[in-house]
Amino acid sequence: MRKVYLDHAATTPVRQEVLDAMMHVFKEVYGNPSSIHQFGRPARKLMEEAREKVAKAINADPKEIVFTGSGTEADNIAIVGGARANKKKGNHLITTVVEHHAVLDAFKALEKEGFEVTYLPVDAEGRISVEDFKNALRDDTVLVSIMHGNNEVGTIMPIEEIGATCRERKILFHTDAVQTVGKIPVDVKAINCDFLALSGHKIYGPKGIGVLYMRRGVRTQPLYFGGGQERKLRPGTENVANIVGLSVAIELAVAEMAEESARLSVLRDKLIDGILNNIEETRLNGPREGRLPHNVNVSIEYIEGEALLLSCDMKGFAASSGSACTSGSLDPSHVLMAMGLTHTTAHGSLRLSLGKSTSEEDIDYVIEQLKPIADRLRAMSPVWEKFQKGLPIT
């Protein structure tokens, strides 16, 4: 059976060049980068070279790059640390209802500390309105966090304008760019952000490594204590192999971005059209334009997402769903619900995220396989039956 991996938004395989660079570190450069002896110095050198590569990839200065254990950790240092460090200036924070839980849960924690948070709504395509954002600003707003690209529906947010407004009003602006680095241009100066988070394993690098970009002169507080590493913002012995792996991954991703994103956009559109045209009662979640090149999110109405996923897996292709049943909760994806989808539509969502290994033959295969899967599940769905008979669905 053909095996097709279409869950690149969840994680990506480590590419060979990354693995080779990491193996070199594991085998040859095992010293602690904080040690000043002949074993530590090469590790420090490799780490600082990696910092330069990462900085170059997002148009930052190497001194503005902090290595973390994950994108989540980078989000947390930016948001929780940033808000705490600037509490004297104000108590109000702004984010959106469709952020990744790494961001949303950080804001929930800050609310418990007494901060007030405005959660901006989104439109039917998952995009916030700049006007809503401007209206939410207050004199005591100290920090704004708005994701660059949505991990579920691929919507690209208008963050350049938001960043410019924040800069003008001296409000800290953080963006979670975990889904966008290596897919679309990410330039911290053009975005006008003070913080930016990215992650290694979304760009064919290793898991367990993230980056916090922190603009020079910006204040935040550490969440952990115990060492002077990473300017005391992320203490703990640096994971040199992962850092080096991430730097190779980001360098290659940015170098190949234009060509690869163009290729994926074509495949993405073919997959979207193939599903919508082949299977009745389907809809695209998220926008047609202004969408990440690797993201497809569709709802196949009147069937449930986890059953859909299991069926896809049995046919050899891996995807993900915003169905409640995959998360163990009763509510489907907060992103899909915030976009105004009904429970029926949200429960039947399927995210297919493309990547380097995705070929046109893979797309043809998935389009071909999805129709009988949908037919089979609908044949046993009482909701499909109600729809066909024109009965109300509750």
Question: What is the CA 262 to chain-centroid distance, rounded?
Answer: 19
Residue 233, CB half-sphere, CA atoms under 13 Å: how many?
28
Q: Within positions 300 to 319, which residues make up the interface with other proteins, using CB under 8 A?
A: 302-307, 310, 314
**Is residue 332 close enough to count as binding other proteins by CB under 8 A?**
yes
Per-residue binding letters, 138-177, with other proteins (x by CB under 8 A): ----------------------------------------
Under DSSP, the state recorded for 330 is: S
- Is 217 exposed, middle or buried, given 0-12, 13-18 or 19+ CB atoms closer than 10 A? exposed
Shortest distance (Å) from residue 303 CB to other proteins? 7
**Alpha carbons 320 and 68: distance in angstroms, whole number:** 26
Residue 76 assigned as binding residue: no
Q: How far is 372 from 315, CA to CA, in rounded Å?
A: 11
Residue 148 assigned as binding residue: no
Question: In the set 229, 323, 349, 358, which binds other proteins (CB under 8 A)?
Answer: 323
Sole window of 73-81, 153-161, 209-217, 336-344 interacting with other proteins (rule: CB under 8 A): 336-344
Q: Is 200 annotated as a binding residue?
A: yes
Active site residue 166: no
Work out whether 383 is an interface residue with other proteins (CB under 8 A): yes
Report if residue 391 touches other proteins, rule: CB under 8 A: no
Give the Å distances, CA to CA, from 360 to 266, 319, 321, 356.
9, 17, 22, 12
Q: Is 179 annotated as a binding residue?
A: yes
DSSP-assigned letters across all residues of 168-224: HTT-EEEEE-TTTTTTS---HHHHT-SEEEEEGGGTTS-SS-EEEEE-TT-----S-
Residues 194-253 that bind other proteins (CB under 8 A): none
Q: Which is nearer to other proteins, 121 or 382 (CB)?
A: 382
The CB-of-340 to other proteins minimum distance in angstroms stands at: 15
Is 59 labelled as part of a ligand binding site?
Answer: no
For other proteins, which residue of 273, 372, 379, 388 counts as binding (CB under 8 A)? 379
348 is in an annotated binding site: no
Own/partner long-range contacts of 268-271 (Cβ < 8 Å, ≥24 apart): 268/293, 268/294, 268/295, 268/296, 268/354, 270/360, 270/363, 271/296, 271/352, 271/354, 271/363, 271/366, 271/367
71 labelled ligand-binding: yes
Residues 6+ apart with CB under 8 A from 9: 151, 152, 179, 202, 294, 295, 320, 351, 353
| Residue span binding other proteins (CB under 8 A) among the ranges 75-83, 133-141, 147-155, 321-329 | 321-329
The distance of closest approach from Cβ of residue 383 to other proteins in the complex, given in angstroms and rounded to an integer, is 4
Piece of the chain touching other proteins by CB under 8 A; list 71-79, 164-172, 254-262, 342-350: 342-350
Cβ neighbours of residue 244 under 8 Å, at least 6 residues apart?
A: 21, 22, 24, 25, 46, 47, 50
Closer Cβ to other proteins, 131 or 330, answer by number: 330
* CA distance readout (Å), 346 to 194, 303, 318: 34, 10, 19
| Distance between CA atoms of residues 263 and 257, nearest Å | 10
Q: Is 121 in the site for other proteins (CB under 8 A)?
A: no
Q: Which of 90, 342, 357, 371 binds other proteins (CB under 8 A)?
A: 342
Q: Is residue 193 annotated as involved in ligand binding?
A: no
> Is residue 1 at the binding interface for other proteins, with CB under 8 A as the rule?
no
329 annotated as ligand-binding = no
CB nearer to other proteins: give 73 or 304. Answer: 304
10-23 per-residue burial string, b: 16 or more CB within 10 A, e: under 16? ebbebbeebbebbe
**Applying CB under 8 A, does 343 fall inside the site for other proteins?**
yes
Distance of closest approach, residue 302 Cβ to other proteins, in angstroms? 7
DSSP per-residue codes, 243-269: HHHHHHHHHHHHHHHHHHHHHHHHHHH
Among 120, 324, 341, 350, binds other proteins (CB under 8 A): 324
Annotated binding site for pyridoxal 5'-phosphate: 71-72, 151, 179, 199-201, 237
The residues assigned a catalytic role are 325
Residues that bind other proteins (CB under 8 A): 302-307, 310, 314, 323-326, 328, 330, 332, 342-344, 347, 379-385, 393-394
Annotated binding site for [2Fe-2S] cluster: 325
